[in-house]
Structure formats: structure tokens, C-alpha cells
Structure 1
Amino acid sequence: MEAPPDNDVLWARSLHFRHPDGSPGLAGVSFGVREGEILAVTGPRGSGKTTLLRCLSGQLPVRHGEVWFNSAPVHTLGPMARERLRRDRFGWIDPEPVLIPELNVWENTALPLMLRGSSRRRAKAAAMEWLERLDVGDKPRRRPHELQHAERQRVAIARALAPGPTILFADEPTAPLHRADRAHVLRTLTAAARSHGITVVLATHDSDTAALADRTVSLLDGRCVRTVQLPDAPDPEGRAACSLSV
């Protein structure tokens, strides 16, 4: 078993995955993500973007292939170890906001920090900082059902950023937002990631969203078909980050 390159915080090799109904999800995907990089995974709906993010983040167990995080094999971890990894090191944003209805806005945002052992006061302060950045800081005591759909998604994004994850997995994070809101939220997310050194793996089928990334990897029918290095963030080593599988 070969360890990944030292400068890759996340690395996958020859990932294969089949859904419970037997349909293929991934067919031999390999690539690496550098520390602090914003990587966009693009492709049409059904191309395997969400499946790839769930395998990389430990939500789906890898049966064939390898996933490494900071030179440690994720694919060999058991369910409890993967859960700890997701709680302590990873952040996740769904395309639809998933908030706890019994908690108010700031409690939803602070929950990951409190689960990590932060005091209620410190967790609330961090939550409020991110809610302000995402323009929902004036609604800390509202319940999710009192918010508009786009506001709930902003809260979900704040919740993912508040703990300062090493890697943030974002699956179509601005899908519920109107186009006018989308650019502002994406700029906030990417600027926050860069200023805090957070690596982002972003699944999107939107070209404007992908353009904010340092690099893009494209999927088609579960295969990695190409990698694109955007001109404003060249790869100093010139290495390919995605193996061709067509």
C-alpha cells in the first residue's frame, strides 16, 4: 500500500463504488487535493459528484480503492473512527439545509463546536461571528421554520465553517439560493476558506461556481475525464491531479 504525496492533504486512488441497487457510482477515480486548495468537482447530474464527496469524507465506506487524509488511510477505518474524523476534522454542506428544528439559529450553528467540547459561551461567540459574515446574524434566536429557505442554507454554511474544519466538503452549497445571493455567499465561503487555511472540495454543475476554485476535476458516468488548472492558480510542480479513466 503506497502512501500519498506529502503535499496532498486528501488523496484518492482507483475509487470504485456501486449503489445498493447495483448501479455504478464511481469507476476508478484517482486524484489529490493540496492543503488550502479549493477544488471544484464538476459534471452533469448523475455523474458521481455526490458519491465521490461522500466516499472522500468517510460517509460511504470504500470497498475498492483508497482514500488518504494527511497520509493516514481513511479506507481502513471502522464506522466509529470515520465518525470521529468527520466530527473533528471535516465539515459538510448539503445542497438542502438540514437543521435541527428544536434548536434556534445560533444553537444550530454552535452545535459542532459544543460536540467537540467547546464551552457554550465560546461556541456561541464563534457561531455569531459566522452568522454575521453570512448575513443572518440578526436572527440568532429564530427557529429554522421561521426562516426563509435561503436563510436556512446560510445558517447551514455558517455551521460548517464555525468549527474551522481541515477540509470542507460542499455539495452544491448554493443550490437553494437565488443567483443574486449565490455570488455573495460563494465569495464569503471561498474568502473564509483561504483566510483560515481550509481545504475545500466543492461539487457543482455550475460553471460560475467552478470558476472560483483553484482547479477543477470533471466527472462523467463515475469516471474522471479531465483536470483543469485555472490560470490564476498554477500548479508549481506541474503534476496531474486526476488520472484519466476514459
Structure 2
Amino acid sequence: MVAPPDNDVIWARSLHHAHRGSPALVGVSLGVREGEILAVLGARGSGKTTLLHCLSGRLVAQQGEVWFNSSPVHTMPPALRERLRRERFGWIGPEPTLLPELKAWENAALPLLLSGVSRRAAKTTAMEWMERLDIGACASKRPYALLRAEQQRVAVARSLVTTPSVLFVDEPTASLHSTDRAHVLRTVTAAVRSHRITMVLATHDVDVAAVADRTITIADGRRVGSQAIADAEGRAACSLSV
């Protein structure tokens, strides 16, 4: 095993994984620097979701290495990987997956409550994020009473309440209308940049990928290219038009 470069928060080498014998990842390697937004671009079924699952410790690749700072995620026992995901990583998926019996603010505060933070402190933090996402007025509603875009914003707040070191984002706007997509993207991007959070974003949409500092492309489980996006103003303009 070779430790990753010092400036990479997430580093993966030669990841291989198959689902029921069908290759999902074939020798994928990458590094993500602190505070960087990396977009993983690829068509549906290209392997990008499997890649995010491996990088975040949700799944252990059948071959290869994944490091978070100087810690080898791929050799951690399940309990330690779970703690890492809970305390240092955030996750936003295409579905909000809110708990129907909890109020919106409770769903947003759930990672803090599960970590033993007091109910009052957890609510305060959750409400701060919900206000930033323009859903503070929804705090006492349960998921069934929320619009789909509001549910997704609650999920975004939930992923950010712990101020994670790394945020993994998998097709976060796939089911949203264009206006809601643009708002969610702007909010998430502003949050990670203001808090120096590293973000790995998987998407099939080149306009969504335009919010990133750098883009890599996955096709049939293989990394086929990368592109640095140097013009920050151009990147912002693209995100507004999503």
C-alpha cells in the first residue's frame, strides 16, 4: 500500500468492482484536493454511482484502494467506516429519503441527534441551514406535506449540518424542475465553497458539472478523460442556467 499525496483529501487507486458479474468499475484512479469540487460525468449506468459509493465507504471495492487523508478506507472495519460516514462525510442522493414520522427540521438535524447533540443545539443548527435553503417556514411540516423540491432541500440541509469534510453528491437535481435545480445547485456550491468542503459530484448533465473546478468522465466503468474548468465566472454563469 502506498499512502496518497499530502494535498489529496480523497485518493483512489485502481478501483475494480462488479455487480453480479457485470463490471461497474475497471481500474479507476483519482485524487480530490481539499476544497475542490470534482464532477464525475457519465451516462446512466456508466459506473459513477458505484464510484461514489466506494469513495464514501458505503461500498468496499473488490480491488483497489481508497484513502481519506491518511486513513485507508478500504481496510476499515464496518463500524469505523460507518463512523467516518456519519462524522466526516455528507451524502446527497437523487431521492430525499426522509423519515415520514419526523418533522422537516428533525430530518435535517438527524445526523446531529444520532451523534448525541442536544435537541436544542441540533435544532438551531438545522434551522440555520434550512433558512439558507429558503425552507425555514417548512420546519414543522412532515415530508408528506412538502413539495418534492422542499423535500430535497431538507435532504441537502441534513447533509450539511455536520459541516462534513467531504460531500458526496449523486444526481441531486435529477427529479427537479429547472428553477429548483438551479437554486439547489447554487446553495450547495456556495455552502461548500464558504466552508472549504471538498465535493465529489456525480451527474450525467454537463450543465450541472459546470459548477465544478474539474471534471472527469466515466464510461463503461473506466475513466476516459478529465478537464479543468479555470474560468470561475463562466462556471457560475453555467450554474445559473441549469
- Whether TM-score is above 0.5 comes out as yes
CA distance in 1, matches of 2:231, 2:165: 23
Give the secondary-structure state (helix, strand or coil) at the position aligned to 1:75. helix
What is the TM-score with the length of structure 1 in the denominator?
Answer: 0.92
Letter in 2 for 1:157: V
1:10 aligns with 2:10: yes
> C-alpha deviations, 1:125-181, integer Å up to 9, x for none?
110111111121101110111111111111101110111000000001111211111
> Using the alignment, how far apart are the partners of 1:93 and 1:41 within structure 2?
14
**SS of equivalent to 2:101:** coil
Distance in 2 of aligned mates of 1:115 and 1:167: 19
Distance in 2, Cα, partners of 1:201 & 1:113: 22
1:206 deviates by: 0.9
Q: 1-side partners of 2:144 and 2:152: how far apart?
A: 12
What RMSD in Å do the two structures reach over aligned CA positions?
Answer: 0.9
Measure the CA separation in 2 of the matches of 1:224 and 1:115. Answer: 37
Q: Please tell me the residue identity of whatever aligns with 1:12.
A: A
- The alignment status of 1:209 with 2:208, answered yes or no, reads yes
In 2, distance between residues paired with 1:152 and 1:51?
24
C-alpha distance in structure 2 between counterparts of 1:231 and 1:167, whole Å: 22
Shift in Å at residue 120 of structure 1?
Answer: 1.0
Q: How does 1:29-178 map to 2 (within 5 A)?
A: 29-178=28-177
Residue 188 (structure 2) pairs with residue 189 (structure 1): yes
Deviation per residue, 1:173-213 (Å, 9 max, x gap): 11121111111211110111010111100001111111110
Q: 1:63: Cα distance to partner?
A: 2.0
Gaps of 5+ in 2: 233-242
Alpha-carbon distance in 2 for matches of 1:225, 1:117: 43
CA distance, structure 1, for counterparts of residue 191 and residue 80 of structure 2: 28
CA deviations 1:7-58 (Å, max 9, x no partner) are 0000000000011x21111000001000000000001111001000000001
Among all aligned residue pairs of Structure 1 and Structure 2, give the percentage whose two residues are the same amino acid: 68
User: Take 1:211 and 1:94, find their aligned partners in 2: how far apart are those partners?
Assistant: 19
Moved more, 90-99 or 176-185: 176-185
Larger helix proportion of the pair: 2
Length-normalised TM-score, structure 2: 0.94
Unaligned runs of 5+ in 1: 234-246
3-state secondary structure, aligned to 1:28 = strand
State the Cα deviation string for residues 73-126 of structure 1 (Å, max 9, x = none): 001011111111101100001101100111000000001012222211111011
**Aligned mates of 1:176, 1:144 — CA distance in 2:** 16
